[in-house]
Amino acid sequence: MKLKPKEGLLWMLAAAAVSLSFSACKPKGAGSAVSGNAAQRTYIPPGQYDEFYTFTSGGFSGQMSVYGLPSGRLFRVIPVFSVDPEKAWGFSEETKPMLETSHGFVPWDDLHHIESSFTDGMPDGKWMFANSNNTPRLARIDLQTFRTAEIIEIPNTGGNHCSPFTTENSEYVIAATRFSVPPDGPGGDVPISSYKENFKGHISFVSVDKETGEFNIAFQLKTPGLNFDLSSAGKGVSNGWLFISCYNSEQAHTLQEVNASQNDKDFIMAINWKKAEEYFKAGKGVKQAVRYAHNKYDEHTHTATSQIKTEVTVLDITDFDDLAYLIPCPKSPHGADVNPTGEYIVGSGKLAALIPVFSFEKLQNAIANKEFEGERYGGVPVVKYESALHGEVQKPGLGPLHTEFDEKGNAYTSFFVSSEVVKWNVKTLEVLDRQPTYYSVGHLMVAGGNSKKPYGKYLVAYNKITKDRFLPTGPELCHSAQLFDISGDKMELLLDFPTIGEPHYAQSLPADILKDKSLKIYDINANAHPHKTNGEAEARIEREGNIVRVYMTTIRSHLTPDVIEGIRMGDEVYFHVTNIEQDWDMPHGFAIKGAKNAELLIMPGETQTIKWEPDRVGIFPFYCTDFCSALHQEMSGYVRVSPKGSNVAMTSYTGNK
């Protein structure tokens, strides 16, 4: 058969139409997911302020970063558990004690979660709490200075993941072990395969002083060996209780990927913490010898101190019948999140095909009526699943991880495997909306979503995989945050922005709570640093043996002294630099050639110290590292280093002697 040109053209057209319609069957990518005026809704004109501060965990960066919402602009990275040479965190003499532990100085950690301090279930803008997962610790960040004010180590704990969740009035911050381990001490030398007998979980209740914020490990609850993942304190009707997700109810000690994924249900542990507090106050606990570091930064001496503490009070939950209960929860639950009224507890089983929602009222009834399973788990009563269940969200998605809430009775759950955020109604359990994330969302955060009255409006999804979302930067890519507007019926994607480290959770606070009380300068007259230099007239150098102290001041645009002689090989030189400026945003820096630690950045009114050990004879320049003024480049000086035993006179001055 011979095709006429016209017929041939028709066949070609038909073939093209078929192939086009096939490719049209393939779902669309991310290209069209953003609505038309998204840019307008996230645009903050130059010089104007964001609506929210968002404190974001840095995960394996060990730090906490502060962003603005809705712009996604990064304002500050607060060093917490990892050293930061830029800010001399962990390098200056003043901050070194902050990273001390019972293991000695630890320069890195994995900052997992953060939570606000609360008053009556609402962020009060005083502090942010953060936990370190690897070497178990808790930190408190001051929201006037945006600096880490305190770090406390948690004994009897192996991986402080289930932390730093706080009670309705931040009476306690919780720290619970992700990896059960034998209690601290020489008794810990046991076969790893003896997990079931010897490994224990510990849940620490760290009290917070209402005024100063100071931590104190009030007591610990000892539990059967379990992996504690996440928790939420009860609020409103459930105030006084704590809900913790537990996985590895199999008590596997190896290949947990498989062996800890066998049971259809693991648990949510419900703890009556007010009861625990009562027992503790009644002296029912047992004192155990442990070692943990407690580090505090004093804003007046501008210096941290580290103290090793040696005792903790432990209550074994199996010794009491009314302290803790287990609620079966499918399957390897991750988040255990309490809704704003405190009535509903959402368990997100990583491997479950549904989301169970428990009712606090039903749980209380079940406990009162002893609706327990026949067998206790490791001595802890197990409430019957149905007895505590409010209902299940059916077919929500794959791999639920975390749930946050808005002010209208809705919940938002992140799904890692199906890479989406799903909105559903807490009462009716009906799925209302689902939006894709790019890609594989871990944590999510609704502004105020863990408080009694969520601010709502914005949701941020923190994605574990970024791939093609930004310009590529080699094999190592940033984690991304995605901002959704949740004020309407449907969630709307507004913005992608890169983040630092791996954010696990965040807290958004309305800017108005914080911005006016943010500290501008340190009062130089309140500076009680033992090596403060009281004005340029007191700038000097002092020698005691081979220790030389340089009492230095900085003010635009000179360092005093800027000529230093009489330093000898073998000396340990401490530069105690006081920034005598009292003007807003006028830090000075200090760096000296050959320093093996870091620079200093000294805020107005502050004194900071860097140690320097000269390694050769010669002239060493030092200079201000923070461009402070038109004559910043002139803000420098010299140190003369002479051989050991030299008799060069100790001299120091600036300008004419």
Q: Which residues bind other proteins (CB under 8 A)?
A: 555-557, 581-584, 629-631, 634
Shorter beta-carbon distance to other proteins: residue 581 or 606: 581
Q: By three-state DSSP, how is residue 226 classified?
A: coil
187 burial type by CB count under 10 A (0-12 exposed, 13-18 middle, 19+ buried): exposed
Residue 222 zone, left/alpha/beta (φ > 0; ψ -120 to 50; rest): beta
Shorter beta-carbon distance to other proteins: residue 548 or 580: 580
Q: Which two tokens stand for residue 39?
A: 């840019």
Shorter beta-carbon distance to other proteins: residue 444 or 635: 635
Shorter beta-carbon distance to other proteins: residue 404 or 581: 581
Shorter beta-carbon distance to other proteins: residue 15 or 631: 631
**Maximum Cα interatomic distance, the chain, rounded to a whole number of Å:** 111
In angstroms, give the least distance from the CB of 50 to other proteins: 18
Shorter beta-carbon distance to other proteins: residue 13 or 631: 631
End-to-end CA distance of the chain: 109
In angstroms, give the least distance from the CB of 631 to other proteins: 6
Place of tokens 């900071």: 608
Shorter beta-carbon distance to other proteins: residue 250 or 581: 581
| CA dihedral of residues 54, 177, 293, 110 (deg, nearest 10) | -40
Shorter beta-carbon distance to other proteins: residue 368 or 526: 526
In angstroms, give the least distance from the CB of 553 to other proteins: 12
Beta bridge partners of 480: 463, 498
Q: By three-state DSSP, how is residue 164 classified?
A: coil
In angstroms, give the least distance from the CB of 53 to other proteins: 21
In angstroms, give the least distance from the CB of 654 to other proteins: 13
Q: Which two tokens stand for residue 18?
A: 């078929």
Shorter beta-carbon distance to other proteins: residue 22 or 584: 584
Whether residue 392 contacts residue 429, with contact meaning beta carbons closer than 8 Å, is answered with yes
In angstroms, give the least distance from the CB of 202 to other proteins: 50
- Cα–Cα dist 15/487, whole Å: 46
Cis peptide before 561 (omega within 30 of 0): yes
In angstroms, give the least distance from the CB of 556 to other proteins: 6
Shorter beta-carbon distance to other proteins: residue 209 or 583: 583
- Cα–Cα dist 541/547, whole Å: 10
In angstroms, give the least distance from the CB of 583 to other proteins: 5
DSSP 263-330: SSEEEEEEEEHHHHHHHHHTT-SEEEEEEEEEEEEETTTTEEEEEEEEEEEEEEGGG-SSSEEEEEEE
In angstroms, give the least distance from the CB of 635 to other proteins: 11
Whether residue 172 contacts residue 208, with contact meaning beta carbons closer than 8 Å, is answered with yes
In angstroms, give the least distance from the CB of 632 to other proteins: 12
Cα separations in angstroms, 42 against 50, 164, 499, 641 = 9, 30, 17, 55
Q: By three-state DSSP, how is residue 541 classified?
A: strand
- Cα–Cα dist 337/329, whole Å: 13
